[in-house]
Structure 1
Amino acid sequence: MSSQPVWGAATDIGTRRASNEDSFVAEPPVFMVADGMGGHAAGEVASAAAVSAVRRLVTAQDVREPDVQRRLEAARSLLQALPPTLGRSPGTTISGVVLTSRDGVPHWLMVNLGDSRTYRLQGDVLQQLSVDHSEVQELVDAGHISPAEAAHHARRHVVTRSLSAASSLAADYLLLPVEPGDRMLVCSDGLTGELDDAMIAGLLRSRPHPQDAAEALVAAAVAAGGRDNVTVVVVDAPQP
């Protein structure tokens, strides 16, 4: 395969928020989105710290889980060192992929902490690779509510894991071989809170270039209500 993927990224404050607490990195081989929590200033600081930490992997080769974990630990250390003047404790989700290799074979290393999401589009099939760390996902897993009910549940934004000063950093990791035609989507919940998977898949399929796809997804989420900050990174696998 060629050395570089093709990618695009877009973000928007939305229609109801005073600031954008999302941050992202889209620099090969690192493609991640962080959605800050804790209100204005605290959320921005947390997501920026997470992205600043994982950006250090941009110059790394054959990234592995411990490499990502060390960067998350570095971000947590930054948050622990913050003065208490920020008010509410800052925290952030983080999700995305690192393009790496195993024995010379290209792989996606997915990481997820919180309820931002990572998907893979293969042909007409959109698959959510990450599992939300949220109260409603636990209710779905236990069979108490359906996925459709979860989309409108009053506590759908309550996360059960995050990157914060007190975090255990129990991130999920998944290593997948890169398949020809893979299109990866990384997004904050400002996208998935407004658009269902069918609409997301349709926009991903209809825009050949990742930058056009990212901008179209963000624009559609804002048009649908834009109740939260919206950030999207789209990555196409390197061509053989």
Structure 2
Amino acid sequence: MRFELDTGLSSLQGKRARNEDFVGVQAPAAHEVERGWVAALADGVSGAEGGNNDGLMAAQTSVMSLLRDFHGVPADWDTSVALDRLLGHQNAWLASHNRRPGPDGQPREALTTLTAVALRGRRYALAHVGDSRAWLLRDGQCLLLTQDHRMERRDFAGLTRALGLDDALRLDHSAGELKVGDRLLLTSDGVHGSLSARQIGELLRNTPVAQVAADALTAAALAAGSHDNATALVLDIKDLADPGLTDLAALGRTLPSPGPLGVGATLDGYQITALVADNGVHRLLQAREVATGRLVALKMLRPGRADDPEERAMLAHEIWLGLRLAEAPRHRRRGGESGFVRVHAPADGATHFYAVFDWHGGQTLEQLLAKGPLDTAQALAMASSVSRSLSLLHAAGVIHRDIKPGNLHLGDDGQWRVLDLGVALSPRASAAMRELHAGTPSYINPEQWADPPQAADPGSDLFALGVTLYQSLTGRLPYGEIEPYQLARYRREPASVSRLQPSVPMPLDRLVMKAVAREAKLRFETADELLMALERLAARDQPTSIKSSRPPRDAALSWQIAFGISALLNFLLIAWLLFLPR
């Protein structure tokens, strides 16, 4: 799903000499969709009437710098952290600016309030300083989300906090879940200083179009006697994107894991039909969705591991990766398939934390190899499909780390799919995941066993695929069963594929031996390079459609003529020898 937002903006100068409010909304670029939207409203603090433009400058630069830089922060930053750091840098710049006297020798007053909201996944995050405000209209109830930083006394009225006021910035932060139909509102004090919370709520409820609501709020504020600039930004949530990693991690922390479930048990509208696998950490169950009758696979933590926060975080990361791959560029797919099993976003109202995948009948490569090696055509088809999936994965900055026959599945539809992203690394993976030495030893490239060990990289997946392809053709592992750090196995090159399986053509033999070479520099560098080599081999096995430049009949006639000429010459030679004068 795609996040859909309708916006309405109105900013009126009112009775002021100039409008020192500034507001903006920034949508993510196509490759930044997951980072979400950001909006901000700033109200520059006015100096003397007709004075300098420091307040306007502070409001403009604060909003523009936030919107410009928000989508450029590291992907693993939490939204609140991003807002805090970006606004902290802007505050430091304004405070430094204010310490220097202006051109006229007078002190500078580049100060502004600011209220910012970031909308990512299915959550919002607020950062606020000053007396601008944020509101939320949900189910007819209008809620004020911020608190003014303002002191009102007989002898003094002014802001106690603002951007540029102090060297150290103290922001108020808050966050919450988003729902379709929510309406967020940002206002300057020119609006809420003249309209009551009840009036604002009524206008929000009675004007369904965002732009009409924004215009109505500012017009009503001026009509009520506002002496300040009046600005309103309305954000209507029309549709929500799939949950982001932050949303899923929050579900993992708050929802309980399912307990033991037997066949016939129900869970959130799914009825368990079979236990598929149990690896000591996770259980994989087949279930039928009661409402639709479709089969799905449910992956959940075993009861003994259900309270492990790292395991919960890894399952959340796996769900997030699956949702992200569903948005992979179409040009990297084949037949519309991504080469991975589709994962479904957790349903609203889910009572437990687990992953839901599409169910595909078929067998894993491990099950197929139990019956014997694959023939050349089958092996090429498998390796080409998995290479294409790895190309898509690596383009997204993700490393699988556990490619092996047990994690490759041939569906009844003839499609190969890569399973189990549970230990995959992405730019958003936690430090604990990065430190985990994941994978199955016999498929791990030797560099990861070196001293010091090298981290897994895309080449690790390609080596594992090479080992898998070698095993698929020969029924054996190239270096045998490997135990952790058993580098002695890698002291000599493995036996060639054609030696163990003479029916394998030499070009394929050379390709596989390159993929499993002991030295990394001798192997394929990218999944695309390996895929191209595999596709060339597959094309060689296809009958050519190009006709010979000389038809077969003409070729036979040529041989007959050549034979006749040769026979005539031999006859003449014999005759000459017989009748040669003695």
State the TM bucket, normalised to the shorter chain: 0.7 to 0.9
| Match of residue 64 from structure 2 | 52
Letter in 1 for 2:66: V
Of 41-50 and 67-76, more deviation after overlay is shown by 67-76
Instruction: Give 1:123 shift.
Output: 2.2
Give matches, 1:185-224, under 5 Å.
185-224=185-224
**For the Cα contact (< 8 Å) 1:8–1:26, is it kept in 2?**
no
Q: Which has the higher helix share?
A: 2
CA distance in 2, matches of 1:73, 1:166: 11
**For the Cα contact (< 8 Å) 1:11–1:229, is it kept in 2?**
yes
Q: Secondary structure at the match of 1:213?
A: helix
> Quick check: 1:92 aligned with 2:99?
no
1:92-149 Cα shifts (integer Å, max 9, x gaps): 1101311013xxxx1011111011000101122110011111114xxxxxxxxxxxxx
| Match of residue 126 from structure 2 | 110
**For the Cα contact (< 8 Å) 1:33–1:94, is it kept in 2?**
yes
> Quick check: 1:159 aligned with 2:159?
yes
**For the Cα contact (< 8 Å) 2:97–2:108, is it kept in 1?**
no
**For the Cα contact (< 8 Å) 2:92–2:167, is it kept in 1?**
no
Of 115-124 and 157-166, more deviation after overlay is shown by 157-166
Percent identical pairs in the alignment equals 32
Q: Secondary structure at the match of 1:198?
A: helix
Q: 1:176 to 1:89 in 2, by over 3 A?
A: same
Instruction: Give 1:58 shift.
Output: 5.2
Give matches, 1:134-145, under 5 Å.
134-136=150-152
1:180-200 Cα shifts (integer Å, max 9, x gaps): 221001011110111001111
Q: Secondary structure at the match of 1:164?
A: coil
Q: 1:4 to 1:127 in 2, by over 3 A?
A: same
| Match of residue 79 from structure 2 | 64
CA distance in 2, matches of 1:231, 1:121: 18
Q: 1:214 to 1:47 in 2, by over 3 A?
A: same
CA distance in 2, matches of 1:38, 1:46: 10
Letter in 1 for 2:55: G
CA distance in 2, matches of 1:107, 1:30: 12
Q: Secondary structure at the match of 2:17?
A: coil
Letter in 1 for 2:53: A
Equivalent residue in structure 1 for 2:54, among 42, 52, 58? 42
CA distance in 2, matches of 1:230, 1:160: 21
The structure, 1 or 2, with the larger RCO (C-alpha pairs under 8 Å, 6+ apart) is 1
Q: 1:155 to 1:30 in 2, by over 3 A?
A: farther
Of 213-222 and 155-164, more deviation after overlay is shown by 155-164
CA distance in 1, matches of 2:69, 2:210: 22
CA distance in 2, matches of 1:221, 1:202: 13
CA distance in 2, matches of 1:88, 1:38: 11
Q: 1:22 to 1:70 in 2, by over 3 A?
A: same
Give matches, 1:145-184, under 5 Å.
158-164=158-164, 166-184=166-184
The total of aligned residue pairs comes to: 219
| Match of residue 17 from structure 2 | 18
Letter in 2 for 1:99: L
CA distance in 1, matches of 2:41, 2:184: 12
**For the Cα contact (< 8 Å) 1:9–1:26, is it kept in 2?**
no
Instruction: Give 1:84 shift.
Output: 2.2
CA distance in 1, matches of 2:119, 2:69: 11
CA distance in 1, matches of 2:154, 2:12: 24
CA distance in 1, matches of 2:3, 2:156: 39
Q: Which has the higher strand share?
A: 1
Instruction: Give 1:163 shift.
Output: 0.4
| Match of residue 428 from structure 2 | none
User: RMSD of the TM alignment (CA)?
Assistant: 2.2
Q: TM-score scaled to structure 1, two decimals?
A: 0.83
CA distance in 1, matches of 2:218, 2:157: 19
Instruction: Give 1:2 shift.
Output: 3.0
| Match of residue 74 from structure 1 | 89
Q: 1:98 to 1:156 in 2, by over 3 A?
A: farther
